[in-house]
């Protein structure tokens, strides 16, 4: 992929000539007289894009697989209306080559328009990451009508807790990699304002990270609600940790079953959860809460970032569409040891994680099981998939308990 340009890159003479031309001696003349240096006169050393093209030969992420020198050249002239550039969008993927086994996305969006201005790079990335979903021709269905859910009340002997999360971005304000302090504070203000309007079982309170007391902090840690300053270089290299903890905070309802993170990796992350297996109730609350928050911000003239090609717009391309991860902590000690486990999960379009979240190990045969997909299927479809799948897994576990055999199900037909 980089072959023709690596020849240009390795030509020192070429770069040497370019650097001569930068005219540092002339600049030096100007600079010895301090008065001559004036603010606001843009002067910049310009290189052809071949000299700027990142070295991605050791990289393994979706950005590196799709950013050809030709695309880089074409897109490096472009900028979103807010001033976000290609180099900024891909910086995290350049700085984090990736893992041989885990393929990260390798780029982020700085604003809603990123997905449009840099579509030539993002469309193939979205296609790769979301099972062939083609934003140019496909439409993403949004469906938050939880009444459509069938069953969804799991056996509490197996399912310890149920949880649904997603993210929402406020249209008109830049996303965490690019937002200014004022924009971030505005996101906080808009969200907190809306959340203050929630009632009944959704009545709650906001805890700003900058102002919380030690006691409040400890309570939030004990409840496993508190999020920390990001340490993952995937996030910090994208600029999401700037100005921490300014305008970051946590809101939750009094029942502690509905939780919103503000200005962490997205404008808002919305989480509905409870102990036990009543996924239907969790999803009910999720949809209700989301719709109510949307109504409240619309009253003030705001709306969420959404379009019919990509669904809900979030910072990371992996979270487009529904941005939804519906999951349970479920005890599957026997099934977890069965060699068919991974294949069963694959065919059910599910993924497993340890109970500490992504990249943790399962403890005591308890797994975090959730949907694999995000884009191309609606919220209702994805939650139904999780419900049907987990029911199947519990059936398998029960059969294994009785010494009976289990079957690997046929792969779910993907739309």
Phi (first) and psi of residue 62, to 5 degrees: -60, -35
Among 73, 131, 219, 381, contact with other proteins (rule: CB under 8 A): 73
Which of 39, 339 has the CB closer to other proteins?
A: 39
- Rounded distance between C-alpha atoms, residue 109 and residue 62, angstroms: 14
Q: Report if residue 26 touches other proteins, rule: CB under 8 A.
A: yes
Q: Report if residue 53 touches other proteins, rule: CB under 8 A.
A: yes
Phi (first) and psi of residue 386, to 5 degrees: -65, -45
CB of 206 to other proteins, least distance (A): 17
Rounded to 10 degrees, what is the CA torsion of 130, 380, 327, 404? -100
Among 4, 7, 20, 411, contact with other proteins (rule: CB under 8 A): 20
Which of 185, 399 has the CB closer to other proteins?
A: 185
Among 61, 65, 66, 80, contact with other proteins (rule: CB under 8 A): 80
Q: Report if residue 183 touches other proteins, rule: CB under 8 A.
A: yes
Pairing mode of beta strands 366-371, 159-168: unpaired
Residues 236-295 within binding reach of other proteins (CB under 8 A) = 236-237, 241-244, 246
Q: Report if residue 76 touches other proteins, rule: CB under 8 A.
A: yes
CB contact burial 64-94 (16+ within 10 A = b; e otherwise): bbbbbbeebeebeeeebebebbbebbbbbbb
> Can you name the residues that pair with 259 across neighbouring β-strands?
252, 271
Is residue 205 a known part of a binding site? no
Residues 88-127 within binding reach of other proteins (CB under 8 A) = 91, 94-95, 113, 116-117
- Rounded distance between C-alpha atoms, residue 111 and residue 172, angstroms: 8
Q: Report if residue 136 touches other proteins, rule: CB under 8 A.
A: no
CB of 332 to other proteins, least distance (A): 39
Among 141, 172, 197, 354, contact with other proteins (rule: CB under 8 A): 172
Q: Report if residue 24 touches other proteins, rule: CB under 8 A.
A: yes
Q: Report if residue 70 touches other proteins, rule: CB under 8 A.
A: no
x/- map, 295-324, other proteins, by CB under 8 A: -----xxxx---x-----------------
Q: Report if residue 216 touches other proteins, rule: CB under 8 A.
A: no
Residues 196-215 within binding reach of other proteins (CB under 8 A) = 210
Is residue 389 a known part of a binding site? no
Helix segments in 69-213, DSSP class H: 69-75, 86-95, 114-117, 119-129, 181-195
Binding region for other proteins (CB under 8 A) out of 25-33, 147-155, 199-207, 324-332: 25-33
Phi (first) and psi of residue 311, to 5 degrees: 65, -140
Q: Report if residue 401 touches other proteins, rule: CB under 8 A.
A: no
Q: How far is CA 272 from the centre of its chain?
A: 17
In 169-308, where do the E strands start and end? 204-208, 249-253, 258-262, 268-275, 306-307
Among 6, 48, 227, 274, contact with other proteins (rule: CB under 8 A): 48
Q: Report if residue 46 touches other proteins, rule: CB under 8 A.
A: yes
Total Cβ atoms within 10 A of residue 412: 15
CB contact burial 168-205 (16+ within 10 A = b; e otherwise): bbbeebbbbbbbeeebbebbbebbbebbeebeeebebe
Is residue 165 a known part of a binding site? yes
Which of 75, 348 has the CB closer to other proteins?
A: 75
Which of 23, 132 has the CB closer to other proteins?
A: 23
Is residue 269 a known part of a binding site? yes
- Check if the beta carbon of residue 330 is closer than 8 Å to that of residue 390: yes
Three-state SS annotation for 278-290 = EHHHHHHHHHHHH
Could you say which DSSP state residue 317 is in?
Answer: G
Whether the upstream peptide bond of residue 140 has omega within 30° of 0, thus cis, is no
Is residue 356 a known part of a binding site? yes
Span between the terminal Cα atoms of the chain, in Å: 32
Q: Report if residue 132 touches other proteins, rule: CB under 8 A.
A: no
Q: Report if residue 27 touches other proteins, rule: CB under 8 A.
A: yes
Which of 37, 196 has the CB closer to other proteins?
A: 37
Q: Report if residue 79 touches other proteins, rule: CB under 8 A.
A: yes
Binding residues for ATP: 161-165, 224, 269, 325-329, 353-358
């Amino acid at each position: 992929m980089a072959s023709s340009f690596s020849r240009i890159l390795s030509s020192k003479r070429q770069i040497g000539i370019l650097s001569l031309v930068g005219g540092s001696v002339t600049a030096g003349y100007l600079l010895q007289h301090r008065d001559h240096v004036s603010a606001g006169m843009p002067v910049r050393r310009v290189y052809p894009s071949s000299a700027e093209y990142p070295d991605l030969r050791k990289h393994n992420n979706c950005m590196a697989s799709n950013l050809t020198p030709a695309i880089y050249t074409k897109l490096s002239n472009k900028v979103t209306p807010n001033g976000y550039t290609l180099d900024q969008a891909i910086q995290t993927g350049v700085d984090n080559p990736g893992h041989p086994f885990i393929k990260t996305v390798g780029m982020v969006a700085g604003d809603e328009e990123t997905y449009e201005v840099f579509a030539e790079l993002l469309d193939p990335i979205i296609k790769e990451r979301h099972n062939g979903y083609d934003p140019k021709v496909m439409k993403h269905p949004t469906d938050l009508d939880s009444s459509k859910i069938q069953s969804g009340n799991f056996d509490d002997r197996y399912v310890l807790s149920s949880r649904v999360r997603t993210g929402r971005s406020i249209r008109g304000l830049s996303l965490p990699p690019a937002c200014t302090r004022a924009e971030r504070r505005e996101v906080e203000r808009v969200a907190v304002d809306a959340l203050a309007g929630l009632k009944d079982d959704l009545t709650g309170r906001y805890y700003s990270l900058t102002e919380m007391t030690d006691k409040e902090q400890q309570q939030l840690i004990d409840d496993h609600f508190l999020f920390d300053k990001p340490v993952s270089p995937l996030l910090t290299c994208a600029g999401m940790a700037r100005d921490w903890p300014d305008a970051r905070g946590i809101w939750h309802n009094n029942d502690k079953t509905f939780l919103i993170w503000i200005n962490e990796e997205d404008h808002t992350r919305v989480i509905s959860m409870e102990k036990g297996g009543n996924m239907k109730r969790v999803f009910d609350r999720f949809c209700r809460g989301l719709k109510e928050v949307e109504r409240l911000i619309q009253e003030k003239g705001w709306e969420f970032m959404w379009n019919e090609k990509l669904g809900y717009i979030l910072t990371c391309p992996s979270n487009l569409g529904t941005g939804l991860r519906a999951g349970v902590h479920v005890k599957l000690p026997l099934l977890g040891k069965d060699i068919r486990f991974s294949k069963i999960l694959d065919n059910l379009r599910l993924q497993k994680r340890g109970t500490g979240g992504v990249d943790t190990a399962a403890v005591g045969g308890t797994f975090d099981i959730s949907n694999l997909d995000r884009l191309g299927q609606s919220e209702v479809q994805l939650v139904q998939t999780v419900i049907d799948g987990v029911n199947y897994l519990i059936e398998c576990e029960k059969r294994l308990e009785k010494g009976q055999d289990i079957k690997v199900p046929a792969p779910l037909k993907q739309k």
